[in-house]
Structure 1
Amino acid sequence: MKFRNMCLVSALCAGFALTMIPHVFAVEVGEKAPDFELPSTQGGKLKLSGFQGKKNVLIEFYVLDFTPT
């Protein structure tokens, strides 16, 4: 009984915590992506708006293997 109550309280707390996460990064299909700036691997900065007018833009975030996270 005590274990079941503890699981229930934990599940309720987790559910409540998940509802508190804002969905600020959600972009609908066809919606314009928000502009952002990232450091370039060759020095300097890259902005998403700098690629405006190009046919296709692919953004891939890759965590290098064997790097501390």
Structure 2
Amino acid sequence: MEYVALSRLSTQLMELCNGRRSVREISEMFALSLPDTGGIDPVKASVFGLETLRRQGLLGAFNSSEVPAL
């Protein structure tokens, strides 16, 4: 078993991922939460953060036609 410590911003992003929201929806919701992104546009920061989490194997990405049924 492997444990990963997430930053506060990564945790916020992961909490917005529900398997149904698009990257755009997640980015917009993240930006509306007014995170402190160190002066970086919150939408850009969220897209970068989502891609980083995906590359780390912590998130999966699906096309809208591939989203699993809940």
The two structures share one fold, judged by TM-score above 0.5: no
Structure exhibiting the larger radius of gyration computed from Cα positions: 1
Kindly indicate which of the two structures has a greater share of residues assigned to strand: 1
Kindly indicate which of the two structures has a greater share of residues assigned to helix: 2
Q: Please, what TM-score do these two structures have when normalized by structure 2?
A: 0.25
